[in-house]
Amino acid sequence: MAGITLQEVSRRAGVSTATVSRVLNNSPLVHPDTRRRVLRLIKQLNYHPSPTARALARARTQTLAVLFPGIASGFYSEVLCGMDDVASERGYHLMIAFSHGPQDQEELFIRCLRERRADALVVLNLNPPDALVRAATAHETPVVFIDRPARGRRISCVQIDNETGSVEAVRHLAAHGYRRIAVLSGPTDSFDAQQRLAAYRQAMREHGLPVTSELVWQGAFTEESGYAAVQRWLKRNRSLPDALFACNDAMAFGARQALQERGLNLPMVGFDDCETARHLGLTTVHVPMRQMGRWAVELALAWIEGAPNEGVPDRVVPTRLVVRESCGCARKGVKV
């Protein structure tokens, strides 16, 4: 079972290695009879070309590298599944790497580009400084960013339609008659967080609702930060706002927990629609994560296989509100 090679096949078939290679690569420059003969032998010997040798000879690994922030989350596994959907279908393999801390992230990024172990790089939710993004342009390897705008030679991105989702969320709460709608925002260096906050502001304005600074709670996309934000508020104010728009589900869970511990309740809507959201009945903005993964890989492949100078357009995945109980609706599925 150990290592039958192309050369071996060619010898036994009485043809040159070039011919076998041609057969392998479906070159039209092979006589049907020859092809048949070679193919038979290949099957008979159970020969399979060595990916490693191919990679060296073709300077193509048929591999995509995916960079993750170092945290486990169901979110990422969804995205990953989406990536695999199209990668496997197109004959590509997925290599993954987690960044261990923010400085490691930079090194990892550079290393992936230089090693050429992968034909393209998909960067998820990391936020490399702009300088780094520019540095990428110097390399051959195309890069696709998820959750971060970026554009350039061999660079594109897939982003979330943060605006539509946020606007829908606020509209929904407003339709309930809530007027003092607080927002639990994300870290200021996150593009998603920025966009969601901006959309919240605009939506509030459009509904003629006031946005005082005390209604804007700073969070960090973590459960703890949501918990802490509510605690801070409760320490300073007696009355809760009418409702809460949490810029992601994790923070909504934290906020919910903090409220619950004091027997309080607050209509709220989240963002992401992670698995737990469904279980907890959290009304939230659905983000099609699988789709993000799929598109990211499609963009990457477009760069790899596309005509050298053809640009690859960015993509924006749609969002939509999923109404559950947490927003003050009486029952699951009630649409306002």
Partner DNA sequence: CTGAAAGCGCTAACAC
Partner DNA sequence: GTGTTAGCGCTTTCAG
Residues that bind DNA (CB under 7 A): 3, 5-7, 14-19, 21-22, 24-25, 28-35, 48-50, 52-54, 56-59
Torsional class of 101: left (φ above 0), alpha (ψ -120 to 50), beta (otherwise): left
Partner that binds at residue 1, options DNA, its own copies, none, CB closer than 5 to 8 Å by kind: its own copies
Nearer to its own copies, 124 or 160 (CB): 124
Asked whether the beta carbons of 292 and 82 are under 8 A apart, the reply is yes
The 3-state DSSP class for residue 178 equals: coil
The single residue listed with the structure tokens 């969320």 is 169
Least Å from the CB of residue 26 to DNA: 10
From residue 245 to residue 284, what is the string marking binding to its own copies with x (rule CB under 8 A)?
--------x---------------------xx--xx----
Residue 148 CA to its chain's centroid (Å):
10
The single residue listed with the structure tokens 């996309």 is 221
Q: Which stretch binds its own copies (CB under 8 A): 25-33, 134-142, 158-166, 306-314?
A: 134-142
Provide the pairing of β-strand 216-218 with 315-317: unpaired
Chain positions 43 to 72 lying near its own copies, rule: CB under 8 A, are 48, 50-53, 55-56, 61, 63, 70-72
Q: Which stretch binds its own copies (CB under 8 A): 10-18, 79-87, 182-190, 196-204?
A: 79-87
Of 127, 166, 151, residue with least CA distance to 287 = 166
Alpha helix (H) ranges present in 237-324?
249-260, 275-280, 289-305
Nearer to its own copies, 170 or 219 (CB): 219
* Rounded Cα distance, 247 and 182, in Å: 11
Least Å from the CB of residue 175 to its own copies: 27
- The answer to whether residue 303 forms part of the interface with its own copies (CB under 8 A) is no
Tokens representing 81? 């599944």
Question: How big is the site for its own copies, counted in residues (CB under 8 A)?
Answer: 43
11-47 per-residue burial string, b: 16 or more CB within 10 A, e: under 16: ebbebeeebbbbbbeeeeebeeebbebbeebbeeeeb
Partner that binds at residue 31, options DNA, its own copies, none, CB closer than 5 to 8 Å by kind: DNA
Nearer to its own copies, 18 or 57 (CB): 57
Nearer to its own copies, 138 or 307 (CB): 138
Longest dimension (CA), the chain: 89
Sole binder of its own copies in the list 6, 10, 23, 78 (CB under 8 A): 78
Of 65, 53, 111, residue with least CA distance to 92 = 65
Chain positions 138 to 197 lying near its own copies, rule: CB under 8 A, are 138-140
* Rounded Cα distance, 92 and 118, in Å: 10
What are the residues binding its own copies (CB under 8 A)?
1-2, 48, 50-53, 55-56, 61, 63, 70-74, 76-78, 80-81, 84, 88, 93-98, 100, 114-117, 138-140, 253, 275-276, 279-280, 290
